Amino acid sequence: MRAAVQELAGFFETSSGLKLVIEYGTVAKVAEKVTGDDPIDVAILTKPFLDELVRAGKMAGGTAAQLARVPIGLAVRQGAPKPDIKTVEAFKKTLLDAKFITYGDPSVGDAAGVHMAKTLETLGLASETRPKTRLISPPPGQSGAQFLTGLFQRGETEVAMAPISVLMETQGAEIVGLLPAELQTGDLVFFAGTPWTCRQPIEAKTFIDFLTGASAKAVYRTKGMDPD
């Protein structure tokens, strides 16, 4: 959601007169902060984490609103031949043929990375791809797209699988397309909601309403996301 929120923040501040203070992180890190009762007014989370926090009583009831679905895509180094990924078998061959592959680091709670790790296990590719995997694990203050840009520029990866919105922000890469439908996940649906520690509920609702409005949906679409 980083790319979309960064673009929308200025529009919201101008139209509302409110000032946003935004901290980015993996959904697992955001959920950890909500669980730890950090003073957060609006949290943006994927559905599994949101549902867990609602059950734990950490989110204010009735505040959550769906923002967008984010499909996972595949990109290669700019100028490299674009492989066939139209079918699961073709996708498997692409990964086996690649010298290096990359996806989000599951150990830090990267939602797409968790899904890709499970997918490789299901496809029977985990052991073969593990030695040549370079995970997206950016340091604080760096986005996944910036980290992935560095991997491509240094020749440390050939094939990257990530949310399409991340790939669109990655320099030195060319998007091949989306993973086959069978390999997508329903977990990458983002919601915005208000934690129970919220100190500014009226302003929080104003922001959530903005994030579900027509102008925000238009931005999501430009990032390859599906708000419908």
- Is pLDDT of 52 > 90? yes
pLDDT given at position 140 = 86
pLDDT given at position 141 = 85
pLDDT given at position 124 = 97
pLDDT tens digits along 99-132: 999 999 999 889 999 999 999 999 999 999 999 9
- Is pLDDT of 159 > 90? yes
Q: How much is the average pLDDT of 156-165?
A: 96
Buried b (16+ CB within 10 A) or exposed e, 45-56: bbbbbbeebbee
Q: Are the CB atoms for 152 and 77 separated by under 8 Å?
A: yes
pLDDT tens digits along 55-100: 999 999 899 999 999 999 999 999 999 999 999 999 999 999 999 9
pLDDT tens digits along 177-208: 999 999 999 999 999 999 999 999 999 999 99
Q: Which residues lie across from 59 on neighbouring strands?
A: 195
Q: How far from each other are the two terminal CA atoms of the chain, in whole angstroms?
A: 16
Going from N- to C-terminal start, the domains of the chain cover: 2-69+188-222, 88-183
What value does the mean pLDDT of the chain take?
Answer: 96
Give the homologous superfamily in CATH for domain 2-69+188-222.
Periplasmic binding protein-like II (3.40.190.10)
Q: How much is the average pLDDT of 125-143?
A: 94
Which among 91, 114, 113 is positioned nearest to 102, based on CA atoms? Answer: 113
Task: State how far the Cα of 145 lies from the Cα of 143, in Å rounded to an integer.
Answer: 5
Task: State how far the Cα of 112 lies from the Cα of 203, in Å rounded to an integer.
Answer: 30
